[in-house]
Amino acid sequence: MSQATELSRGITQLGLDITPEAQQKLLAYLALLQKWNKVYNLTAIRDPQQMVSHHLLDSLAVLPHLWSGRWLDVGCGAGLPGLVLAAVRPEWSFAMLDSNSKKTSFVQQAAIEMGLQNVSVHCARVEDFAPLQPFDGIISRAFAEAVDFVTLTRHLLANDGRWAAMKGAPAQELKRLPSDVAVLANLPLRVPGLDAARSLVILKAE
């Protein structure tokens, strides 16, 4: 099965409506990721088919549970999930943050080649990052344990903003959250082609 077919089928299984143009951008992103990965080692996944499920569909699975506004993808790595979300939600803005300059160089190039006007890329440690405005949502896919995620990024979240943590099975992590952080939702996700526990945890400071 081609990457395009697998992506299209997975999007249907997720119940999403994503334009052919946006799907082309996602496939262009994967092609670029495969090319750069040979030199920069951006992802441990080498198989092109696995990249569709483990990267694209895994990132898209959270989409129905997110909200419009200004987003920060903290510890964005190779641009997941931020670049994927930016491609399908051009009306939202995404700041991509990582302290690894090789990864932010790739993300910057990918955003240009994908033609994304709603992405900014920042190479900095999260504690040193000082944007002009706080964010409506802060998302992470593999950044840190939940308690570190909220502690390190609290200064970046708007007063009515929320965190979105992409996790496996997070029950134990959530027990260690600060007492003034509430779990608004712990949503199990089914990702087509991915045989692993996945969930999205939405958090808010009280």
The rounded distance, in Å, linking the Cα atoms of 18 and 63 is 11
The rounded distance, in Å, linking the Cα atoms of 123 and 206 is 30
* 79 among annotated binding-site residues: no
Judge whether 97 and 74 are in contact, CB under 8 Å. yes
Can you say whether the dihedral through the CA atoms of 51, 36, 21, 84 is positive or negative? positive
Q: Any idea how long the chain is?
A: 206
Instruction: Report DSSP state, residue 20.
Output: H
The rounded distance, in Å, linking the Cα atoms of 55 and 23 is 13
* 141 among annotated binding-site residues: yes
Q: Which tokens go with 170?
A: 């997070």
* 127 among annotated binding-site residues: yes
* 173 among annotated binding-site residues: no
Judge whether 200 and 67 are in contact, CB under 8 Å. no
How far out from the chain centre does Cα 182 lie?
21
The rounded distance, in Å, linking the Cα atoms of 34 and 51 is 9
CA atoms within 13 A on the CB side of 92: 24
Annotated binding residues: 75, 80, 126-127, 141
Annotated binding residues for S-adenosyl-L-methionine: 75, 80, 126-127, 141
